[in-house]
Amino acid sequence: MTADTSNHFPPLVSPDQIERHVEALQQRIDDLEIEINLLRARDESLNLYHRRMDEELRLAARLQQDFLPKSLPQVGKVRFHTLFRPAGYVSGDLYDVTRLDEKHVGFYMADAVGHGMPAALLTMFIKNALVTKSITADGYRLLDPAESMANLNQVLVNQQLSYATFATAIYGHINTETLAVRFAKGGHPNPILFRENGEVINIEADGSLLGIFSDEVFATVDVQLQPGDRLFAFSDGVELAFSDNGKGLDILRWRDELYTQGNLATAELLHRFEARINEDQGSLTPKDDVTMIVIEALSDK
């Protein structure tokens, strides 16, 4: 008996079927090449956009640097030192130190909520809105820091910003002859007074965030420096920078650093602080902008 082998061999494929199959494969290859070319063009467009954004942000950073003091007044036995480290290209912090008259130097710092371009724009607006003097018939008078802060707050409130934005700030001045400091603050961290003997004092002052409540009242605080004393004004980024990763916010930790390294010269001390901040440099989640102003009354020793 002859075995049935009809099911043991595949059916014959016609040349037309092979040709159609090849055409379908070629069409798929052509379609994939088109998609690849589109993706390449999109990638080139994105790279061009990123390069332009990077250049614009770098230009914005240089512009913001132009708004910072080119040099710090060093009058009599009073010296100023600063630390300014944005979390990104531009900072939501801004500061200024400037001569007000023959014996007064003003200092100022603002910290807008968040960081980056929106915060930087707000702090630049605040800087230009700060008024420190009033013209009188006899010439001028220095505004009390609380008055300057109240005026600044009202300007922000009256601006009626479309986005719910607020800021903290501190403004004050020092008499370079008597070493008397007067300042007011709104929502800003309390300055720290580091006495020559190593004592660390938290200088408290009342004042709410800027740009929220109309007709807000701020308190002026007087601090008498002695030779060898240093007054530290800073943004809250300092507290974040000195907190241990994964252990939560420890706002007192940086004071411990200040206490343990307080015997260093101010310039060296800020250099050490900057090195600590640099440990977070390059992180995909930078902590915050960091700004510090140190008013130093030179020691008689």
What pLDDT was estimated at residue 160? 81
What is the rounded radius of gyration, in angstroms, for the C-alpha atoms of the chain? Answer: 31
Question: What is the token pair recorded at 274?
Answer: 């900057």
pLDDT of residue 168 exceeding 90: yes
280/278 Cα distance (integer angstroms): 5
Q: How confident is the model at residue 7 (pLDDT cuts 50, 70, 90)?
A: low
Q: What is the pLDDT of residue 246?
A: 47
pLDDT at position 253: 77
Q: What is the pLDDT of residues 198-253, one digit of tens each?
A: 888 999 998 999 988 898 999 999 999 999 999 999 998 888 877 765 455 566 77
* Chain centroid to CA 150: 23
Location of structure tokens 């055409």: 23
What pLDDT is stored for residue 9 in this prediction? 55
The pLDDT, as a whole number, for residue 4 is 56
Mean pLDDT is lowest, of 15-24, 122-131, 217-226, 276-285, for 276-285
Q: What is the pLDDT of residue 244?
A: 61
**Residue bearing the bigger pLDDT, 180 or 24:** 180
What pLDDT shows up at residue 251?
66
Q: Is pLDDT of 170 > 50? A: yes
Instruction: Give Cβ neighbours of residue 289 (< 8 Å, ≥ 6 apart).
Output: 85, 86, 87, 91, 92, 93, 111, 115, 119, 235, 237
The pLDDT tens digits for 32-54 are 888 888 888 888 888 887 888 87
Residue 92, both tokens: 């939501």
Instruction: Give pLDDT, residue 284.
Output: 43
**Mean pLDDT estimate for the chain:** 85
- pLDDT bracket for residue 58 (50, 70, 90): confident
pLDDT band with cut points at 50, 70 and 90 for residue 275: confident
- Gap between the terminal Cα atoms of the chain: 124
Q: Is the pLDDT of residue 161 over 90?
A: no
Q: What is the pTM of this model?
A: 0.80
pLDDT in tens, 76-101: 999 999 999 888 888 889 999 999 99
| Dihedral of alpha carbons 183, 204, 74, 276, sign | negative
Q: Give the 3-state secondary structure of residue 97.
A: strand
Q: Which residue has the higher pLDDT, 13 or 79?
A: 79
pLDDT at 2 (0 to 100)? 55
Q: In what order do the strands lie in the sheet with 200-202?
A: 78-85, 290-297, 230-234, 192-194, 200-202
- Torsion region of 210: left, alpha or beta (phi above 0 gives left; psi -120 to 50 gives alpha): beta
31 φ/ψ angles, rounded to the nearest 5 degrees: -65, -40
* Nearby residues of 242 by Cβ (< 8 Å), 6 or more positions away: 250, 253, 254, 257, 276
Question: What average pLDDT does range 7-34 have in this prediction?
Answer: 77
